[in-house]
Structure 1
Amino acid sequence: MKKLNLSLAALAVAGTFALPAQAAVLLGAKVGADAWYADAKINDVRADDANVQMSYYAAFEHFIPLVPNAKIRHTSVESNKFNTDFNQIDFIAYYEILDNDLISFDVGLNLQKFDGRFNNQNFDEWQPNVYSDVRLGIPATPLSLFGTFSFGSYDDTSTVDAEAGVLFTLGLVAADLNMKAGYRVQDYDFNYFGANNGKFMNDGFFVGAEFNF
């Protein structure tokens, strides 16, 4: 059966506790870009053709109770060896559960859109996920640790997209500039191409920059 129990549970928790966190925010936005040096593995065979893949995102936060914040992220995936070249767009609705100098915690839903070629086969699919983002500030320093996760299982397709790393914040006049570095893993088992033909992993280090208004 097609169920999203984890997703519904996450939204129920978020809706219960989001009001105090969001009340402290009037309007805010984040925009960022990452350069990701990633190498793919398809159906348990490593490509060994690592290359720079780009990811861009923007988020908008507001003060309206019970209405989720919004984030969109675009990631380009490419592996020449396996004739794989597809776009992943994440449409994310989330709540701020905590937001202070020491810890911020967001939770919500991510509807992923995949479009392109996988192992020389065209596909165009949607995948629902649970989404969370955590940032932990290191006291008396401009450094933070962060982790962002999307995971879910629907109609025999399972996806995990996770990244973790360190972030350096430089305060500017109109915004904060966050410079970051970390490691990202995409671990997907697509059920779109027949049995045992849709295993995909893409992992590697990345660097990026983010403006927080």
Structure 2
Amino acid sequence: MKKLNLSLAALAVAGAFAMPAQAAVLLGAKVGADAWYADAKVNDVRADDASVQPSYYAAFEHFIPLVPNAKIRYTGVESAKYDVDFTQYDLIAYYEILDNDLISFDIGLNLQKFDGRFTGRSFDEWQPAVYSDVRLGIPATPVSLFGTFSFGSYDDTSTVDAEAGVLFTLGLVAADLNFKAGYRVQDYDFNYFGANDGKFYNDGFFGGVEFNF
């Protein structure tokens, strides 16, 4: 609980400093979809049954100071070998700390929802996490580097969900079309099934598209 309280305090401070960046945006939105070719490791044993796992997200940004922006992401996770099949919803409230052509930086809180089966057992749980997202533009090119990170530790369950990659932007009339490629890792230690029986690691390359309005 202390870690969560510190995260809330840090977010409040971040919101105060984010006012100029927030004010620079009237209304904006992002929608995207990724195809993630991932292979799981369950309780420290590699499954070797890689499959394409989908991820979709949408974000809404506004001009109101101190009120966070909102993002929702869906990820379908599976490993047929170990009867793992669950959905992950990330419900994110975040502030823009920086937003320009060279760098954008967001920070916030992520309420993660897990629902499905893990090694044949049903579970339906919520977990809080700290969220951050950064994009670094390469000057005089349409190429950017990006990284997204969520970390949570609460009630003996820990979650790490991180991705990094390259983004190519094609400017359209009403929006930017972004093509993405990168690597994503989920490293979870679920405490819902007893000691040393809820370790889940999922990693692999992904590709995707994003519309930035």
The 2-side partners of 1:124 and 1:72 are apart by 18
Q: TM-score, normalised by structure 1?
A: 0.98
SS state at 2:182 partner? strand
The 2-side partners of 1:173 and 1:160 are apart by 37
Indicate the residue corresponding to 1:131 in structure 2: 131
- Aligned-pair CA distance for 1:9: 3.4
Indicate the residue corresponding to 1:102 in structure 2: 102
Deviant stretches of 4+, over 2 Å: none
The 2-side partners of 1:123 and 1:33 are apart by 26
Is 2:147 the partner of 1:147? yes
The 2-side partners of 1:97 and 1:27 are apart by 16
Structure 1 runs not aligned, ≥5 long: none
Sequence identity, in percent? 88
The 1-side partners of 2:133 and 2:205 are apart by 18
The equivalences for 1:6-85 within 5 A come to: 6-85=6-85
- Aligned-pair CA distance for 1:2: 6.3
The 1-side partners of 2:10 and 2:209 are apart by 29
Structure 2 runs not aligned, ≥5 long: none
Partner deviation per Cα, 1:19-54 (whole Å, 9 max, x = no partner): 000111000000000000000000000000000000
Q: State whether residues 184 and 206 of structure 1, in contact with CA within 8 Å, keep that contact through their aligned partners in structure 2.
A: yes
- Aligned-pair CA distance for 1:7: 1.9
Indicate the residue corresponding to 1:159 in structure 2: 159
- Aligned-pair CA distance for 1:89: 0.2
Partner deviation per Cα, 1:114-159 (whole Å, 9 max, x = no partner): 0000011100000000000000000000000000000010000000
**CA 182–6 in structure 1, closer or farther in 2 if over 3 Å, else same:** farther
SS state at 2:18 partner? helix
Equivalenced residue count is 213
Q: TM-score, normalised by structure 2?
A: 0.98
